[in-house]
């Protein structure tokens, strides 16, 4: 029965029944017009969710990490320099991936809990008179710390420096849950995955690619085959893939976008903000703090809760899984043990979030942490009762 509990991890997220059913379909020939009819709405839908201008949508059988790899191998050459700030596990892993591909990563070390340092990025670009930096990498929502970065601000910093580098954004845990404006922010490659805001199983890397990034692929010499955008775009033009696509997931993606648009993207963002705010009220009532250093950095899809001195966040996550059948996220890297993470993205309602907060409290009490049962739940209840839109999510 505990399999009926919602998950509060950072992906895969809970799946609406209609999306799950859309993935479950009979075999079709992926070289037939039937596939092209299924694929086109998914591509057009992604374009709307990303708020792309010109450019191409690429949907790879992969995960977010494969999306990163595709972004760099299609646009860069061995020895190229990229600029990246490191402030959490996911920004770290993207840097590591670039280094293992033979890129020279100029790293701006930033305390975990902070976001992308705009002034330092601008200064680094201004100092790069010879324009050796080919791309700026930004993690929009650092899932390890629950920190949101200002991508529009990074674009302004790049423009202020008069620097023509490409801007690559990891939006794996923000896209389809938090406002994202690929066109307006001048993002050259946006990377998403199917198993977070899109509420699907893992298995797709979803990318938006600007005309400038498309142009860069002609001179890029990093090796790529499976992820080669040139092969993809050639096959897309004929309504297909260079190899066998994940047909069921693509069918599910088209349905997921209908679900998001039935609710309305702005309502989806507002719901995530409301859910997150309720969680933050609960955290404050527990006498704890988010890892994110200040309110403008608070993520609306994940809260990393800093646990009291002498407590270990991983103990809570283990107990929740073993005793109550509820999944939270552990702390990663530098914040391992120091935080536990509550994922609040995808198919979630006020009522579901309250169940997660109640479970976290039971675990804290079981572990002897200083908490009053019901304190966080009550703070969130008060907030949810008073904030509009409890039923905004499309009834499915
Ligand atoms: C989940 C996540 C990834 C990794 O995606 P996979 O689909 O697990 O490969 C990358 N970046 C961020 C910010 C994430 O949250």
Q: Which residues contact 159 (CB under 8 A, 6 or more apart)?
A: 186
Q: What is the mean pLDDT of residues 229-235?
A: 95
Instruction: Give the nearest ligand 1 atom to 141 CA.
Output: 13
Q: What is the mean pLDDT of residues 359-378?
A: 98
Arch. (CATH architecture) of 17-261: 3-Layer(aba) Sandwich (3.40)
Domain limits, the chain: 17-261, 264-395
- Rounded to the nearest 5°, which phi and psi values hold at 93? -70, -30
Q: What is the mean pLDDT of residues 275-301?
A: 98
Domains 17-261 and 264-395 fall in the same CATH topology: no
Average pLDDT of the chain is 96
Q: What is the mean pLDDT of residues 249-261?
A: 98
pLDDT at 387: 77
| C-alpha–C-alpha distance, residues 316 and 274, integer Å | 25
What is the Å distance from ligand 1's center to 90 Cα?
7
Taking only the tens place, the pLDDT of each residue in 203-224 is 999 999 999 999 999 999 999 9
250 and 38 Cβ atoms separated by less than 8 Å: yes
What is the Å distance from ligand 1's center to 193 Cα?
7
Instruction: Give the nearest ligand 1 atom to 11 CA.
Output: 1
What does pTM read for this prediction? 0.96
Q: Among the CATH numbers 2.60.40.10, 3.40.30.10, 3.30.465.10, 3.90.1150.10, which is that of 264-395?
A: 3.90.1150.10
Confidence of residue 391 (pLDDT cuts 50, 70, 90): low
pLDDT at 104: 98
Q: Residue 179 pLDDT more than 80?
A: yes
What is the Å distance from ligand 1's center to 144 Cα?
10
Q: Residue 394 pLDDT more than 70?
A: no
Q: Residue 390 pLDDT more than 80?
A: no
What is the Å distance from ligand 1's center to 172 Cα?
5
pLDDT at 1: 82
Residues with CB under 6 A from ligand 1: 10-11, 63-65, 90, 139, 141, 143, 170, 172-173, 193, 202
Q: Residue 75 pLDDT more than 80?
A: yes
Q: Which residues contact 6 (CB under 8 A, 6 or more apart)?
A: 14, 326, 348, 352, 355, 356
pLDDT at 69: 98
Q: Residue 302 pLDDT more than 70?
A: yes
pLDDT at 238: 86
Of 91, 350, 53, 92, which is closest to residue 208 (Cα–Cα)?
Answer: 53
**Among 98, 143, 304, which residue has the most ligand 1 atoms within 8 Å of its CB, making it the best to mutate?**
143
Confidence of residue 389 (pLDDT cuts 50, 70, 90): low
**Among 59, 62, 65, which residue has the most ligand 1 atoms within 8 Å of its CB, making it the best to mutate?**
65
What is the Å distance from ligand 1's center to 375 Cα?
32
Confidence of residue 340 (pLDDT cuts 50, 70, 90): very high
Confidence of residue 178 (pLDDT cuts 50, 70, 90): very high
What is the Å distance from ligand 1's center to 173 Cα?
7
Q: Residue 392 pLDDT more than 60?
A: no
What is the Å distance from ligand 1's center to 177 Cα?
14
pLDDT at 237: 87
What is the Å distance from ligand 1's center to 67 Cα?
9
Give, using CA atoms, the residue closest to atom 12 of ligand 1: 172
Instruction: Give the nearest ligand 1 atom to 66 CA.
Output: 9
The pairing of strands 81-86 and 204-209 is unpaired
Of 295, 298, 330, 297, which is closest to residue 313 (Cα–Cα)?
Answer: 330
């Amino acid at each position: 029965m505990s399999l009926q509990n919602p998950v509060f991890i950072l992906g895969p997220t809970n799946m609406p029944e209609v999306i799950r059913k859309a993935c479950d379909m009979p075999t079709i020939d992926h070289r037939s017009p039937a596939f092209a009819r299924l694929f086109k709405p998914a591509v057009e839908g992604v374009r709307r969710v990303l708020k792309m201008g010109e450019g191409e949508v690429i949907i790879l059988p992969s995960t977010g990490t494969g999306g990163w790899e595709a972004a760099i191998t299609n646009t860069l050459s061995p020895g190229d320099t990229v600029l990246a700030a490191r402030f959490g596990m996911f920004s770290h892993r993207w840097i590591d991936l670039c280094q293992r591909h033979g890129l020279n990563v100029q790293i701006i070390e930033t305390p975990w809990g902070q976001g992308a340092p705009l002034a330092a990025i601008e200064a680094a670009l201004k100092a790069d008179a010879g324009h050796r930096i080919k791309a700026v990498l930004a993690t929009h929502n650092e899932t390890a710390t629950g920190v949101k970065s200002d991508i529009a601000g990074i674009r302004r910093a790049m423009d202020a420096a008069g620097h023509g580098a490409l801007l690559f954004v990891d939006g794996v845990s923000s896209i389809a849950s938090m406002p994202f404006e690929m066109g307006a922010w001048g993002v050259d490659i946006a990377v998403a995955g199917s198993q977070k805001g899109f509420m699907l199983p893992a298995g797709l890397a979803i990318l938006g690619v600007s005309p400038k990034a498309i142009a860069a692929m002609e001179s890029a010499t990093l090796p790529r085959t499976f992820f080669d955008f040139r092969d993809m775009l050639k096959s897309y033009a004929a309504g297909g893939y260079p190899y066998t696509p994940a047909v069921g997931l693509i069918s599910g993606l088209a349905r997921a976008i209908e679900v998001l648009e039935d609710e309305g993207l702005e309502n989806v963002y507002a719901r995530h903000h409301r859910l997150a705010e309720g969680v933050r009220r609960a955290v404050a009532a527990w006498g704890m703090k988010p890892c994110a250093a200040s309110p403008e950095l608070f993520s609306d899809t994940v809260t990393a809760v800093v646990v009291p001195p002498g407590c270990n966040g991983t103990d809570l996550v283990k107990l929740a899984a073993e005793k109550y059948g509820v999944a939270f996220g552990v702390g990663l890297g530098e914040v391992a043990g120091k935080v536990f993470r509550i994922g609040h993205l995808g198919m979630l309602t006020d009522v579901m979030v309250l169940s997660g907060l109640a479970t976290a409290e039971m675990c804290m009490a079981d572990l002897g942490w200083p908490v009053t049962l019901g304190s966080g739940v009550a703070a969130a209840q008060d907030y949810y009762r008073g904030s509009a839109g409890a039923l905004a999510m499309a009834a499915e």
